[in-house]
Amino acid sequence: MTNTTSRLDGGAPPIRDLSLHDVKASLVEGWGDFRVHPGYGLFFGGIYMIGGLLILGFLTRIGSPWMIIPLAIGFPLLGPFVAVGLYEVSRRRRMGEPVTRKGVLTQVFHQRERQLGWMAFVVMFIFWIWIYQVRLLFALFLGFKSFSGWGRFSEIVLSTPEGWGFLGVGTLVGAFLATVLFSTTVIALPMLAEREVDFVTAMITSITTVAKNPLPMLGFGLVAGSATLLALLPAFAGLLLVLPVLGHATWHLYRRATSPA
């Protein structure tokens, strides 16, 4: 480690073989970080929750409340700078360093000068592809349908062949994009927060980790995705708990994947 910032220098670290036990242990450790330092988790999770409510309010105002589904699914993926705060809390706790507001927030703002900013563009690009394909599929399958509100939209989607096609194709395309985004970021984001490496190296390392450990990484992705979707239901309030725990857990999974056995 180097000076007070404790950043690691060098290229990509070696990748370990992971198991489902590593995934479970990472989630347990993530919960432990949140339980010991809940204030940070509630703060960063609250940013997501407020953002989601603002998006919902805007879509309701312009008469497109149904768009909250694709936006809500993708919205939590747009916070790499916020996630850095959670990674920093986990890193400091693991290294036995004091967890202070100044230290954590300094690392969040410091990322503007580092490679994590480029990863934000990558995430944003994939997110906009996700939104674009939703609009495209909507036009292809439901372009000639009309509905005045959420109830009418749900009725058309769930009870017509066009709606079933929209849901089926949209689910397949969404699953593919989610897999791409997950594979390129799950290890890359915490790696860039800790190490002085370029974002391309971090992305390659992340993809290599997923390819080398498909079952445990897929398991972690399914847990994260399912928990996030459930957290959206009670007016985004579940994000106050789910996203911090997953953020902490992601850092621990990264460390298990890149630390010596």
User: Residue 4 above 50 pLDDT?
Assistant: no
Can you give the C-alpha Rg of the chain in angstroms? Answer: 19
What sign for the dihedral angle of Cα 221, 224, 227, 229?
Answer: negative
> Highest mean pLDDT: which of 64-68, 151-155, 158-162, 245-249?
245-249
**Is 243 in contact with 228 (CB distance < 8 Å)?**
yes
Q: What is the model's pTM?
A: 0.82
Distance CA 134, CA 174 (A): 9
Tokens of 170: 């949209």
pLDDT at res. 71: 66
Q: What's the confidence (pLDDT) of residue 90?
A: 92
Other CB atoms within 10 A of residue 164 CB = 13
What's the first-to-final CA gap in the chain, in angstroms? 19
Check residue 187 and give its pLDDT: 92
pLDDT tens across 85-124, in order?
899 899 999 888 888 888 888 877 776 666 777 777 787 7
54, 60 Cβ separation under 8 angstroms? no
Which of 253, 232, 215, 250 has the alpha carbon at shortest distance from 53? 232
Contact 261, 14 (CB under 8 A): no
Which tens digits make up the pLDDT trace of 58-77? 777 776 666 666 666 665 55
The pLDDT of residue 3 is above 50: no
